[in-house]
Chains A and B, each alone.
Chain A
Amino acid sequence: MRLALREALLAFRRAPMLSALSVTTIAFSLFAFGLFGLVALNIRNALRNVEDRVEIRAFVADGTSAEATSAALGDIGAFPEAASVRLVTQGQALDRARRELGEFSDVFEEGILPASIEVRLKPGFRDPATVRAVAKRIEVYDFVDDIRFGEEWVEKLHRLRNIATLAGVALGLTFAIVAIIIIGSTIRMAVLARAREIAIMRLVGATNGFVRAPFLIEGFLKGTLGGGLALVLAWLALAVINRFVVQASFFDPWMGAVGVVAGACLGLAGSAMSVGRHLQKV
């Protein structure tokens, strides 16, 4: 094991250019992946913020008794999907309209705006289908005149998020494959550069595991270094974006660690692939 580690480190010294090249290619493919991850992360965060505001508003007919509305409030509040339910009286609706419209507030007269029941949903129940189903159940009350829940907008939001997730997964997989191929071929170059040495090792009785070990360690180290470098690059890119474009958030430490481990795994996978193929051939 110590010997294998020494050999792996020696490989860096023997071919510093090639090693630097493979580390940077790993770094750049992971960096591209990471950038996309950051975009997806921030879109998701933004969507979650918007989604928090998803709300069903049921307008209450004039002259509905207070008992009827409060009974309905109790019922709706007991829906498993409901996070909060509250009644906005005519007076409160008017106040709100006046506040929002400022100088035009005079156009509103007492009683012109209906009272409404406003329902917010728990996270996980804010998708269009659930929102519509809940709205339907509220609509059955006789005193409900009209119900709004921003149908198109909830749907658009969701479509956007689905596209973002799908694109993220597709691009992520593509980048992962590209990274494996790049690492595979750099290790392959290293393997070919040492084909003679490998042949001699096998002649004097080295096991395949022994031959493989230094290359696996080399791939692992390069992958880890590449992953770390990618993380640094992503962080720098984010700093630039934060400074000049928008405030965006970075991976939490866990995700960062996952990124570095992903680099290590890519490195291992790539080198295992090329060494395995070489050993099978000779």
Chain B
Amino acid sequence: MIRFSHVHKSFARTGVALEDVSFQVNKGEFVFITGPSGAGKSTILKLCFFEERPTKGEVKVYGLSSAAYRNVDVPKLRRRLGIVFQDFRLLEDRNVEANVAFALEVTGAPPSQVGPRVSRLLAQVGLGAKATALPRELSGGEQQRVAIARALANDPVVLVADEPTGNLDERATRGIFQLFRDINASGTAVLMATHDLDLVRRAGCRTIEINRGQMVFDSASDGGFRPSAPAEAMEDDE
């Protein structure tokens, strides 16, 4: 699904951001990318949706290789991914419904199918009742749910999330994380960058740790990692 092979990334102004990063995310997996701020988590995710290209090495996502692609392939790839950010990135001048519909319209979905699909997506993220609200009328957690509904619009094979709970309080964080778990349970892979170690520890999912651009740990290849609590424990915390 996603494969990094000896990926290096350096920027003209800031120098090396990633060094020899290799890992693979399989169908239906839930993978955390953790590490301190500035470690290179966002850069890894940007490489996944081809916003950046590696300086060296190869990134391969859903069959598209960073070593050989045309610009027209990128939009096609992004329709197979769902992308979620810390700052939600909603269109402030459109209501919830329109924000989700946007992702469908952009891909040329038949207009007759957009309405029902949007309703289903909003119901899935628990916002069925707020379809006509504007983003600023929603809480942070609710705004992130809208962004997730939008990310799910085109039935992605993998959800890529960059600190999706970074702007949320404890309670909203748990709610959003549970939503990711539910989405993952229905077969969509999730790759989530976060520096919230509590969240990672409690979740007990595969974890890749990055520090100063280098992979320092991958629980999939390191037998030493033991989740401190099963994922189901999440509900007990609420």
Digitize B71-99: 1 where CB-to-A-CB distance is under 8 Å, 0 elsewhere.
11001111100010000010101000000
Contact present for B72 and A204 (CB under 8 Å): no
A196 → chain B closest CB, angstroms: 8
Nearest residue in A to B79 (C-beta to C-beta)? A205
In this assembly, does B196 line the interface, its C-beta being within 8 Å of a C-beta of chain A?
no
Does any Cβ of A come within 8 Å of B30's Cβ?
Answer: no
State whether A204 touches B71 (Cβ < 8 A). no
Q: Across the interface, which residues of B come within 8 angstroms of A14, CB to CB?
A: 93
Nearest Cβ on chain B to A28's Cβ, whole angstroms: 30
Taken together as a complex, chains A and B put the C-alpha atoms of A196 and B99 apart, in Å, by 13
Q: Take A205-B107, A205-B154, A206-B107 as given contacts and tell me if A200 and B75 are in contact as well, using a CB distance cutoff of 8 Å.
A: no
Which residues of chain B are within 8 angstroms of A196 by Cβ–Cβ distance? Answer: 89, 91
CB of B150 within 8 A of chain A?
yes
| Other-chain contact of A203, B76, B78, B108 (Cβ < 8 Å) | B78
Residues of chain A with a CB closer than 8 A to B89's CB: 196, 199-200, 203
* CB of B238 to closest CB in A, whole Å: 31
* Residues 183-208 of chain A, each 1 if its beta carbon lies under 8 Å from chain B, else 0: 00000000000001101111111111
- B91 A204 Cβ-Cβ under 8 A: no
- How many Å from the CB of B196 to the closest CB on chain A? 23
Name the CB-closest residue of B to A211: B106
- Taking CB atoms, residues of chain A closer than 8 Å to B107 are 204-206
Tally of contacts, chain A with chain B, CB under 8 A = 46
Most central of A14, A200, A205, A210 by chain B CB within 10 Å: A205
Establish whether residues B102 and A207, one from each chain, have CB atoms under 8 Å apart when the complex forms.
no
B223 to chain A, nearest CB (A): 37
Contact A204 B49 (CB under 8 A): no
Interfacial residues of chain B within 126-157, with CB under 8 A of chain A in the complex: 150-151, 153-154
User: Is the CB of A3 closer than 8 A to any CB of chain B?
Assistant: yes
Residues of B within 8 A of A203 (CB): 49, 78, 83, 89
Q: A3-B105, A200-B102 are in contact. Are A206 and B91 (CB under 8 A)?
A: no
Does B150 lie within 8 Å of A207, measured CB to CB? no
Q: Interface residue tally of chain B, by bracket?
A: 20 to 34
Q: Which residues of A, 160-217, contact B by the 8 Å Cβ criterion?
A: 196-197, 199-208, 210
Interface of A is mostly: helix
Which of B72, B103, B151: most chain A CB closer than 10 A?
Answer: B103
**CB-nearest residue of chain A relative to B151?**
A204
Chain A residues touching B, range: 10 to 19
Contact B76 A205, beta carbon cutoff 8 Å: yes
Query: B residues 37-89 with Cβ under 8 Å of A?
Result: 49, 71-72, 75-79, 83, 89
| Smallest beta-carbon distance B104→chain A, Å | 9
B71 touching A206, Cβ below 8 Å: no
Q: Chain A nearest CB: distance from B103 CB in Å? A: 4
Q: Please give the distance in Å from B13's CB to the nearest CB on chain A.
A: 16
Which B-chain residue is minimally distant from A6 (CB atoms)?
Answer: B105
Residues of A within 8 A of B102 (CB): 200-201, 204
Chain B residues closer than 8 Å to A202, beta-carbon distance? 75, 78
Chain A residues, CB < 8 A from B49: 203
Given contacts A3-B105, A210-B106, contact A204 B150 (CB under 8 A): yes
Set B71, B93, B106: member contacting A205, Cβ < 8 A: B106
A149 to B199, CA, bound (A): 101
Chain A residues near B77 (CB, 8 Å)?
A: 205
- Output the nearest chain B residue to A14 by Cβ-Cβ distance: B93
CB-based contact B103/A207 at 8 Å: no
A205–B75 touching, CB < 8 Å: yes
Given A3-B105, A200-B102, A210-B106: A205 touches B91 (CB 8 Å cut-off)? no
Which residues in B have some Cβ–Cβ distance to A below 8 Å? 49, 71-72, 75-79, 83, 89, 91, 93, 102-103, 105-108, 150-151, 153-154
The 5 closest A-B pairs by CB, nearest first: A205-B79, A205-B78, A204-B103, A206-B106, A207-B75
7 contacting pairs across A/B (C-beta < 8 A): A199-B89, A202-B75, A204-B154, A205-B75, A205-B76, A208-B75, A210-B108
